[in-house]
Chain A
Amino acid sequence: MSVKKYTDAEIRLIAKDIRKKSIEMVYSASSGHPGGSLSIADILAVLYFREMNVNPENPVDPDRDLLVMSKGHASPALYATLSLRGFFPTTLLPGFRKISSKLEGHVHFGVPGVEASTGSLGQGLGIAVGMAIASKLDSKKNRVYAIIGDGEIEEGSIWESFMAASKYRLDNLTVIIDRNGVQLDGFTDQIMPLPNIPERLRAFGWNVIEIDGHNIAEITASLKKARETKGVPTFIYARTVKGKGVSYMENNPKYHGSPPGSEDLYQQALMELEAGA
């Protein structure tokens, strides 16, 4: 766990900073994925500034908690979080997606604090399963986290990994789904309807917790409950808003993978985020 104790208000300020930096990065790069970065910012803030045991002084500390960003297009939010947590200077963030930078368009293993390259959907959860098995073999007390998208679970490989985590009773594994209801081509309900996700996961043998993915107290409580659950992996069903905090991006599939289209829209996004809760 983080050494400094942050209040909920401070965590919210960090999440705001993650959002603003995400917008700055995609605007500077003229490309990238703002929607799914804004939806996951609160969860990342709680994980990295309250819940997870990570050490920016030694990013490969053998006892650290591990997080795999299976929805690897949320790279702006993860990079911003890691830099704010001290893994690398925030001055490097404008290099995002540029040829001189390590900050690849999708989450990249070479960046301090990143545990695995991801970007092709459906694979990061399997990587996290392998990490959780390895921790069990080594009798480690660390925890493994995977963040998956609600479009991503249309990949069959995700369900293979759900089975495996259940079989191997990976109670050191917590999976958080960013349930924002939007994917690249439209709304998940229309592209490939998948109702009753919590029931499906319970049927797969998981401990399921449903939360508001923008409520700091609920996020915190769910992660604690996951930590205390023995014998089964935990699935946190986090209801979120795609593009959270920028009015014209919220619930708009266009901003799954497009930056603000003009300087005015860019300034509006930053202003709205600054003014937001």
Chain B
Amino acid sequence: MKGNTESLREAYGEEIARLGEADRDIVVLDADLSTSTKTSIFGSKFPERFFNMGISEQSMVATAAGLALSGKKVYASTFSVFLMRTYEQLRQSVCYNNVNAKFVVTHAGITVGEDGATHQIVEDVGIMSGLPNMSVVVPVDSVETKSVIRYLHDHTNTPYYVRLTREKFPVLNGPDYEFEPGRSTTFRDGSDMTIIANGAMVSFSLDAAELLKTKGIDARVINMASVKPMDREAVIKAARETGRIVTAEEHSIYNGLGSRVCEITADAYPVRVSRVGMKDTFGKSGKSWELFDYFHMGVNDIARISEELFREENRYESIS
């Protein structure tokens, strides 16, 4: 990736270790991946409040629920794909009890790269969004990651799923940015169409918008980090003002960002929506940035799909 890139998981590790200095109620759990998830930073600073539960994710999640029920502020981490085996612990012990436990996972999506399909989860946002009481955030960069962790600590006491990646991502937010659940960020204004993206796909979408500009198409680009709750007003405004929406996510086009945008437009302001993402398929080994092109999710693909949607709409307009 071009530009100034920074690691989201390092941002998480540093931020939770920083918060841990002032707040002794913070406890962190991991399942034998702390050097990868970066909870090891907290672990080496506060070993008495760091619990490596071993390769036992179900135990980690149930224990997280118990710690939270006893008043601790719990952060539990592993790779996204491995947290999914604890769906039922998350459902019953965490979400039904509605406890203050945050699940900050890393290595989500196809940017795990060479590790291949077994580790490239692209279903997790859908799985987590379906849980009552669970909120879901997909940060775009290191600045947003730190802000999310700060916000969750300072202002929330319910379960959250925060999806981070192995790869470093370009820093798109300024240092003063502050995250809020249910609020999106418009990175580029435009009137012909809107690209709603999150995670890695935001910087791709900004590059795609530049390509579209050369073809006379003026695209708005929104970072929708907060998938649940979603910034409903921003989606409706995009539909009303630009008439066409493209969604872009490093996730299945089913049950993730794209599906949720479609739910809002169908419900409140129907417009055409094209979804860019994984099409009901598993990933594969490769360099992470090659995989975006392989799965037709790269910059050129976003631009092409956006242009097709734009021309198609115009064609209908000229017929009528």
Q: A217: which B residues are within 8 A, CB to CB?
A: none
CA distance A92 to B193 in the complex (A): 58
Asked if B63 lies at the interface with its beta carbon under 8 angstroms from chain A, I say yes
Contact assessment for B89 and A157 in the assembled complex, using a CB-CB cutoff below 8 Å = yes
Contact assessment for B58 and A122 in the assembled complex, using a CB-CB cutoff below 8 Å = yes
Asked if A125 lies at the interface with its beta carbon under 8 angstroms from chain B, I say yes
Interface string of A90-128 (1 = CB under 8 A from B): 000000000000000000010000011111101111111
Contact assessment for A126 and B67 in the assembled complex, using a CB-CB cutoff below 8 Å = no
Contact assessment for A126 and B49 in the assembled complex, using a CB-CB cutoff below 8 Å = no
CA distance A133 to B67 in the complex (A): 7
CA distance A259 to B108 in the complex (A): 47
CA distance A220 to B66 in the complex (A): 26
Contact assessment for B53 and A123 in the assembled complex, using a CB-CB cutoff below 8 Å = no
Give which listed residue, B53, B68, B70, contacts A135 with CB less than 8 A: B70
Asked if B44 lies at the interface with its beta carbon under 8 angstroms from chain A, I say no
A133-B51 contact given A157-B62, A160-B58, CB 8 Å threshold: yes
Give which listed residue, B56, B59, B71, contacts A134 with CB less than 8 A: B71
The CB with the most chain A CB atoms within 10 A, among B49, B53, B54, B70, is that of B70
Q: B88: which A residues are within 8 A, CB to CB?
A: 120, 123
Interface string of B50-88 (1 = CB under 8 A from A): 010110101101111111111110000000000000001
CA distance A122 to B56 in the complex (A): 13
CA distance A108 to B51 in the complex (A): 28
CA distance A122 to B89 in the complex (A): 9
| Smallest CB gap from B65: residue in A | A127
Asked if A192 lies at the interface with its beta carbon under 8 angstroms from chain B, I say no
Of A32-40, A161-169, A205-213, the segment with at least 4 beta carbons within 8 Å of chain B is A161-169
Contact assessment for A127 and B59 in the assembled complex, using a CB-CB cutoff below 8 Å = no
Asked if B48 lies at the interface with its beta carbon under 8 angstroms from chain A, I say yes
Q: A186: which B residues are within 8 A, CB to CB?
A: none
Residues of B within 8 A of A (CB): 27, 48-49, 51, 53-54, 56, 58-59, 61-72, 88-89, 91-93, 96-97
Contact assessment for A130 and B92 in the assembled complex, using a CB-CB cutoff below 8 Å = no
**19 additional contacts (CB under 8 A) given A126-B65, A160-B59:** A116-B66, A116-B69, A116-B97, A120-B91, A123-B89, A123-B93, A125-B62, A126-B61, A128-B66, A129-B62, A130-B65, A131-B70, A134-B66, A135-B70, A161-B59, A161-B63, A163-B59, A164-B59, A168-B51
| Smallest CB gap from A108: residue in B | B96
| CB pairs A–B below 8 angstroms (20 shown) | A116-B66, A120-B91, A122-B58, A123-B62, A126-B58, A126-B59, A127-B63, A127-B69, A128-B66, A132-B66, A133-B27, A133-B67, A134-B66, A134-B70, A137-B27, A157-B58, A157-B62, A163-B54, A164-B59, A164-B63
Contact assessment for A133 and B59 in the assembled complex, using a CB-CB cutoff below 8 Å = no
| Smallest CB gap from A106: residue in B | B92
CA distance A120 to B64 in the complex (A): 16
CA distance A23 to B53 in the complex (A): 40
CA distance A118 to B66 in the complex (A): 12
Give which listed residue, A122, A124, A129, A137, contacts B49 with CB less than 8 A: A137
Asked if A193 lies at the interface with its beta carbon under 8 angstroms from chain B, I say no
Contact assessment for A157 and B51 in the assembled complex, using a CB-CB cutoff below 8 Å = no
Asked if A156 lies at the interface with its beta carbon under 8 angstroms from chain B, I say yes
CA distance A68 to B53 in the complex (A): 20
Contact assessment for A160 and B56 in the assembled complex, using a CB-CB cutoff below 8 Å = yes
CA distance A115 to B61 in the complex (A): 17
Give which listed residue, A122, A131, A167, contacts B67 with CB less than 8 A: A131
Give which listed residue, A115, A124, A129, contacts B59 with CB less than 8 A: A129
A164-B53 contact given A115-B69, A127-B66, CB 8 Å threshold: yes
**Which of the four size classes fits the interface of chain A?**
20 to 34
Contact assessment for B89 and A117 in the assembled complex, using a CB-CB cutoff below 8 Å = no
The CB with the most chain A CB atoms within 10 A, among B62, B89, B91, is that of B62
Q: B59: which A residues are within 8 A, CB to CB?
A: 126, 129, 157, 160-161, 163-164
Interface string of A123-157 (1 = CB under 8 A from B): 11111111111110110000000000000000011
A117-B67 contact given A125-B62, A127-B62, A164-B56, CB 8 Å threshold: no
CA distance A123 to B97 in the complex (A): 12
A109-B96 contact given A122-B58, A126-B58, A156-B58, CB 8 Å threshold: yes
Contact assessment for A117 and B92 in the assembled complex, using a CB-CB cutoff below 8 Å = yes
CA distance A163 to B64 in the complex (A): 15
Contact assessment for A130 and B54 in the assembled complex, using a CB-CB cutoff below 8 Å = no
CA distance A167 to B56 in the complex (A): 13
CA distance A137 to B66 in the complex (A): 13
Q: B48: which A residues are within 8 A, CB to CB?
A: 137
CA distance A123 to B58 in the complex (A): 8
The CB with the most chain A CB atoms within 10 A, among B48, B54, B97, is that of B97
Contact assessment for A119 and B92 in the assembled complex, using a CB-CB cutoff below 8 Å = yes
The CB with the most chain B CB atoms within 10 A, among A68, A126, A131, is that of A126
A129-B63 contact given A109-B97, A137-B27, A164-B53, CB 8 Å threshold: yes
| Smallest CB gap from B74: residue in A | A130
| Smallest CB gap from A162: residue in B | B59
Q: A132: which B residues are within 8 A, CB to CB?
A: 66
Which 10 A-B residue pairs are closest in the complex by CB-CB distance? A130-B66, A126-B62, A134-B70, A160-B59, A160-B56, A157-B58, A127-B66, A130-B63, A130-B67, A131-B66
Q: B58: which A residues are within 8 A, CB to CB?
A: 122-123, 126, 156-157, 160
